[in-house]
Homo-oligomer: A and B are copies of this chain.
């Protein structure tokens, strides 16, 4: 629902977050998971803006961040391309994951939850999903 395919990229945009952040997160995800390959061409700023019915400036803001992440490279007159460095993608993925984990652990600690509590929850969670949604 509300899914949208643009080239090798999939998007589902809503109003829960800034638009440029959603583009950013979802392209990061596609690159991290290899859904769009190394060196592959991204949609142009204008094309993606048209497909997602947004302003090109909004898309460009996301693209600027992607380049700062080292996940994309821009070539004037040609377009934006996923980096060719598998190493760079791997590093980015593990670094971002680490940041997510640290932030999450701080949240849980603020509720007085221990790592054991979390493990218990996840165990019960996966047990409840047996034969559950086939995603």
Instruction: Name A residues whose Cβ lies closer than 8 Å to a Cβ of B.
Output: 25-26, 28-29, 32-34, 93, 96-98, 100-101, 104-105, 107-108, 110-113, 115, 117-118, 121-122, 125-126
Contact = CB atoms under 8 A, between A and B. Distances in A.
A85 B86 CA distance: 54
Contacts of A104: 100, 104
Contacts of A32: 110-112
23 contacts: A25-B110, A26-B110, A28-B111, A29-B111, A32-B110, A32-B111, A32-B112, A33-B110, A33-B111, A34-B112, A93-B111, A93-B112, A97-B108, A97-B121, A98-B121, A100-B111, A101-B108, A101-B121, A101-B122, A101-B125, A104-B104, A105-B122, A115-B122
